[in-house]
Amino acid sequence: MHIAVIKDSGPAERRVAATPDTVKGYVAAGHKITMTKGAGAEADFSDAAYKEAGATISASNTACVKNADLVFSVNGADAKLVGSLKKGAGITGAMSPTDNPKYAQACAKAGVTAFALDYIPRISRAQAMDVLSSQSNLSGYRAVVEAAGIYGRALPMMMTAAGTIAPAKVFVMGAGVAGLQAIATSRRLGAVTTATDVRPAAKEQVASLGAKFVAVENEEFKAAETSGGYAKEMSPEYQKAQAELTASHVAKQDVVITTALIPGRPAPKLIDKAMLDSMKPGSVIVDLAVERGGNVEGSKKGEIVTTKNGVHIVGYLNWPSRMAADASNMFARNLKAFLPLVTSEDGAYAPNWDDEIIQGCALTKEGAVVHERLLALPTATKKPAAKKATPKKAPAKKAAPKKPAAKNAGKKKG
């Protein structure tokens, strides 16, 4: 098949969906690869390296995707470029579909099949394709490294002739893939590490990494996980109890990493102004959920905000792109694992619609939006109101002629 790899755009985007190594493998399998000029430059992959691997370099994204059967992207092409794809082509990427349902509609309108890699089911067979895990893993690592640099003090305990430096206290809120990697990194750097999560399974995972678990462990907590392994939205009562426990704990921390996200919903607020006011000057909070509204009150996209009492709130965007080479390598391997599901035995582009992974991540098919999560959105179910036909005015009725008054009407008899 003809595979096109575009130069991705977006906030602070530096990643690319294929590396010279994966391109070499695709070419060896008989596929034709076109790359947009400079697609991998910010991830330190040169056009020359792609040429050597067997790719053809195109001058623009539009030229790159012309006649392509399948387009590889990190976060999906813009709607205008989707319109340039041939009808029946496919496009991949981590598209955040519920945040941008109009994107799927644009793909459907163009007759393009969109595969949202961030919707790939979390089953054992799909682990090698899981872009959310591969990218979040790097985000968690980088968050601690950045926090350590901004904190300006040592993270491990140091015993010297000049005295002892106490270890920093790091608190990780959310023990998903990003949170667990943040815990592991914090521990490796020698900080006293604690963590919290609403999912019961997280307690054992946190303990296995040598950190202490902090949570309100009531009956609601025991049932706070979906069948897919995601966190459920908790009741107001639980949130209040957890917030009280968290508030007292946050006040003692030097570094806080927040990673809490709920699919299809704004990020939950975990740290409010009162908690920020209780923290020590020089403390650092990294809000990994800032792109979805943020877990921290006052965090701003792409900025470091310093409060009046000297707490630094880090709201960097696109954390995986801060490690673009590694992030691109992992993303490219995820795509390489996904490719066989859309490839026939003779190497042609042919999605296997009987496969549960394809069914789980396909947003569109044959000109229609088909994914149940998008169809469940209010905007997807609303049809434009039909124009009311202007009722025709009925012809005015002619007034009935007045009957002549009867003789002697109104006169009393007799």
Q: Which pLDDT tens digit goes with each residue over 290-325?
A: 999 999 999 999 999 999 999 999 999 999 999 999
- Greater model confidence, 93 or 220: 93
Q: Which of 73, 96, 133, 328 is catalytic?
A: 133
Question: Which structure tokens are listed for 309?
Answer: 């009492």
Structural domains present in the chain: 2-128+323-365 (3.40.50.720), 138-322 (3.40.50.720)
Reported as a pLDDT band with limits 50, 70 and 90, residue 380 is low
Q: Name the H helices within 76-130.
A: 79-82, 101-110
Reported as a pLDDT band with limits 50, 70 and 90, residue 377 is confident
Whether residue 188 is predicted with pLDDT greater than 80 in this model: the reply is yes
Catalytic site includes residue 141: no
Reported as a pLDDT band with limits 50, 70 and 90, residue 227 is low
Q: Of how many residues is the chain composed? A: 414
Half-sphere exposure of 97 (CA within 13 A, CB side): 28
Reported as a pLDDT band with limits 50, 70 and 90, residue 352 is very high
Q: Measured in whole angstroms, how far is the alpha carbon of residue 314 from the centre of its chain?
A: 19
Contact call for residues 152 and 128 (beta carbons, < 8 A): no
Own/partner pairs, 151-159, CB within 8 angstroms, 24+ separation:
151/254, 151/255, 151/282, 151/283, 151/284, 152/282, 153/254, 153/282, 155/186, 155/189, 155/190, 155/191, 155/255, 156/189, 156/190, 156/191, 157/190
- Which of 36-45, 195-204, 251-260, 341-350 has the least mean pLDDT? 195-204
Q: Which of 230, 292, 333, 359 is catalytic?
A: 230
Whether residue 204 is predicted with pLDDT greater than 80 in this model: the reply is yes
Q: Which of 47, 122, 188, 333 is catalytic?
A: 122
Catalytic site includes residue 136: no
Reported as a pLDDT band with limits 50, 70 and 90, residue 360 is very high
Cα–Cα distance measured from residue 37 to residue 55, given in angstroms and rounded to the nearest whole number: 11
Q: Smallest Cα–Cα separation from 336: which of 7, 17, 96, 33?
A: 17
Q: Which of 130, 197, 254, 287 is catalytic?
A: 130
Cα–Cα distance measured from residue 132 to residue 75, given in angstroms and rounded to the nearest whole number: 12
Reported as a pLDDT band with limits 50, 70 and 90, residue 228 is low
Please give the share of the chain, as a percent, with pLDDT higher than 70.
89
Report the DSSP beta bridge partners of residue 71: 4, 91
Distances 85 to 56, 89, 133, 142 between C-alpha atoms, Å: 18, 7, 29, 36
Give the start-end residues of each E strand in 1-60: 2-5, 32-36, 56-58
Whether residue 384 is predicted with pLDDT greater than 60 in this model: the reply is no
Whether residue 388 is predicted with pLDDT greater than 90 in this model: the reply is no
Whether residue 397 is predicted with pLDDT greater than 60 in this model: the reply is no
Catalytic site includes residue 133: yes
Reported as a pLDDT band with limits 50, 70 and 90, residue 38 is very high
One-letter amino acid of 37: K
Whether residue 400 is predicted with pLDDT greater than 90 in this model: the reply is no
Whether residue 233 is predicted with pLDDT greater than 80 in this model: the reply is no
Catalytic site includes residue 122: yes
Query: Which of 9-18, 47-56, 240-249, 390-399 ranks highest by mean pLDDT?
Result: 47-56
- Which of 64-78, 124-138, 342-356, 380-394 has the least mean pLDDT? 380-394
pLDDT of residue 229: 59
Q: Which of 46, 127, 235, 344 is catalytic?
A: 127
